Structure 1
C-alpha cells in the first residue's frame, strides 16, 4: 500500500489471462484447473525466493504466480455459479468476501514476516500458503452447469470466446467495467498517500485502509444477499452501487482529518465491495448462464486494461496538480461513466430472472441458443 504504512489491502485486479482459465475450465472442469493454478502460484513464489535480479522476480512472482491466480480465480467463480444457480449473487458475495479477509490478514502480517524472515523467507512462506490452493481445488465437486430439459444444448460455436466479440450487450458490459476499474483501484493504491497528505501518520493511514478493506468485505456479503431476492433486478442493484461508489470517490478528497477520511473510507469500502459480486453474477444476466464461464474470462481480460490504466493516471494527476483531489474526482467520473453504460443493457429494464431466481431464456433472446449472439444490440 502506498505511503509507507506497510499494510496492503488491495483486492486482486482482473487477470489478463482470464480467458485461458475459462477455456481450460470449460474443457477439463474447475477442479484440475484450480489445482494447476495453485501449483503454478506456489512455484512462482518459490522460484521468486531464489531470484538474483528484478527480471527473475518479474518472471516468477509476476508471470508465473499471476498465471496461477488466473487459473484459480475464474474457474472458482464459475463453480460458485454452478453450485448455487438460484442464489448465485449471495454465494458470490460470500466467496468474494474471502479476498477482503485475506487482505486484512496479510496486511499486518506481511511487514512482520519481512522483519522476521526477510523478503526471501517471506516469499517461501507465501509459496507454502499458495500451494494450499491445490488442496482447496481438490475439494471442488465436479458439477456441470445446470441445463433445463426444455433448453437445447449450446454448441461450441455459439458459446465460444470468439462469438462473444460480436455480442453487443456483452461488449458494452465489458466496456462499463473497463471504466469502473479505471477508478475502482485508485483508493486502494493512493488512499494511504491521501491520508498522509492531510497530516496523518503511518498508523492512521493503515487504520483507514484496514477499515476500508473490512467495509469492503461486509459490502460484498450485503449486496449479494440483497440481490438474491427473486423479485430484485440484479443489474439495477449493480447500477445503484456503482453510482454510490463513484459518489464516494468524489467525496473522498473532502476529508481533511483522520476522522473524516475514516468515515469516507468506510463508505467507499462498503459501496465498492457491493459492486464486486454483482459484477460477476451480472454477466449471466447479459449473456446467459450457458456462456457464463467464457464471458467471465474474456471480461477479466478487458477489465485489466482499466485496472492498469487508473492508478498511473491518478498518480500523473497528482504530480500535475500537487494533490490527490483531481485524481479522486477523475476516478469517480470513471465510475459514473461505466454506470451509464449499464443503463444501455437490454436486461436492465427487463430482468431475465424468473420467480425462482433462474435466468429466463425468453427475454430478448439472451439465453435462447437459437438466437445469434450478435442479435441483441
Structure 2
C-alpha cells in the first residue's frame, strides 16, 4: 500500500490539532460559573454536565476504536469533529439543564471520545519506533487546549455572553477538526520507518493462535489487562482528585486568594502538558515499566507531601509533580496497550483499557469531597491517594516481570516456528 505524500509527522500534527480542540472540554469551569449566574442553577446541577461529558468519552472510544480499526481514521475523525462541534454549538441554545446535559454532556462528550481515540491510536501506529513520544505529544496537545481555549472562551464570554461563546467556539472546533482530519490516514499493516527494525522489547507476546495482535476478547482473557486497568484507575484517581479540587485546596490549606489559587490552576495545566511529553519520551528511552515504577513512586511521595505543605511554593511544586505524573499516565498508556496487545486492534483495545479513567473521574474528586465534608480537611484523602500510588508502583513492578517472561516465551515460540520452517524447507 502506497501512502499519499503526507509525512507521519504531518499526520501527527494534524491529529494534534484535533486533540487541541477537544482539550477545550477541560476548560469547563470557565463556562460553569456564568451559566450558574445566568440560570440560577446550583453548582452540583451545573457540574453534572461535565460529569456526563467524561462518562460519554470512554463509551465513544470503544465504538470509535472498533470503527477506525476497520475503516480507517479519516471518516471517524470527521464524525467525531462534527459531533463535538455540534454539541458545543447546541449548548449555545441552552434554556434548561436537560438541554445542557444532552448537548454538552452527551453529544459533545461522544464527539470528544471519538476524536481522542482515533487521533491517539492511529498516530501511535505511525510511530512504532517512538510510541511513547508520539502518544505523549498527542496527549499534550489536548492539555494545551485547556490552557489556550479557557482564556479565549473567557474573552468571548465577557464580550458576547456565555451562550454566544459556545456557538462561536463550536463552529471553530468543528472547522479545525474536520479540515485537519483530511490529512490523516492509517499506515499499512506492514509499515515501519525507514532504517528501523523491530526489537524484542517492542514486540508483544504471541497469543494462543500464534499471532502478535490480540482481539478485544483475547485481551479480556488476559489477567495482565486487569492489572493495567487497575493501575490506570489508581494513578488517574490521584490526579483527578487534585485537578478537581486544586483551587479549593489552595484556599483551604494556605488561605490563598481566589486569584492566587487560579494561578495554581494555570501552573497545573502546564505541568499536565509537560508530563505527557516528558514521561512518554522517557518511556521510549528506558522502557514503559521502569518509568511507570518511577512515576508511581513520585506520585506516592508527593501525595504524602500534600499533607504538610506550608507555603505557596511547596504547594505549587507538589501539585505540579502530581499532575506531571497524571499527564504521564495519559501519555504512556496508548504505548503500553500497543506493546502488550499489539497494534492491529489498538483503537478498540485502548478504548476498553481507558474505561479505568471514567471510574477514576468519579472516585478521585468525590472521595476528596466526601472526606473534606466529613473531617473538615483533605489530609485523609491525600493519605489514601499516597496508598494508591504505592499500590500502583507494586503492580507496575509485577507487570514488568510478567512482560519480561512474555518476551522470553515469545522469542522461544518464534525460534520454534523458525525451526519448523527450516525443517519444511529441508
The TM-score normalised by the length of structure 1 is 0.84
Q: How does 1:1-377 map to 2 (within 5 A)?
A: 15-17=57-59, 18-131=61-174, 132-146=176-190, 159-197=214-252, 198-229=254-285, 232-345=286-399, 350=404, 362=410
* Equivalent residues of 2:58, 2:355 under 8 A apart: yes
- Report the Cα distance in structure 1 between the residues aligned to 2:134 and 2:238, rounded to whole angstroms: 26
- Where structure 1 has 5 or more consecutive residues not aligned to the other structure, the ranges are 354-359, 370-377
Give the Cα separation in 1 of the matches to 2:255 and 2:406: 50
Distance 1:32 1:48, change over 3 A: same
CA distance in 2, matches of 1:74, 1:313: 28
Q: CA RMSD in A?
A: 3.4
Return closer, same or farther for 1:262/1:40 CA change in 2, 3 Å cut-off.
Answer: same
Q: Which range moves more in the overlay, 147-156 or 177-186? A: 147-156
Describe the superposition over 1:10-57 as per-residue Cα deviations: whole angstroms up to 9, x where unpaired. Answer: 9x9683212111111112111110110000001111111112210111
In structure 2, what is the equivalent of residue 373 of structure 1?
none
Distance 1:129 1:335 in 2: 39
Distance in 2 between the 1:112 and 1:74 partners?
30
Residue-by-residue CA offset, 1:244-296 (whole Å, 9 max, x unaligned): 12321221232232222122223223333233222221112322333422220
Q: Distance in 2 between matches of 1:24 and 1:299?
A: 16
With a CA cutoff of 8 Å and minimum separation of 6, indicate the structure with the bigger relative contact order.
Answer: 1
* CA drift at 1:173: 0.8
Q: How many residues align?
A: 356
Q: Is the 8 A contact 1:186 1:310 kept in 2?
A: yes
- Runs of 4 or more, structure 1, over 4 Å off, are 4-8, 147-156, 346-349, 363-366
Q: Is the deviation greater in 55-64 or in 327-336?
A: 327-336
Is the contact between residue 224 and residue 274 of structure 1 (CA under 8 Å) also seen in structure 2?
yes
1:147-183 per-position Cα deviation (integer Å, ceiling 9, x unaligned): 7899999899x74323322111112211221222222
Return the offset for 1:115: 2.1
Any idea what the Cα deviations from partners look like across 1:314-365, whole Å, max 9, x if unmatched? 1001101101222222223223223322222265562878xxxxxx992597
CA distance in 1, matches of 2:32, 2:89: 22
**Structure 2 runs not aligned, ≥5 long:** 1-25, 34-49, 418-426
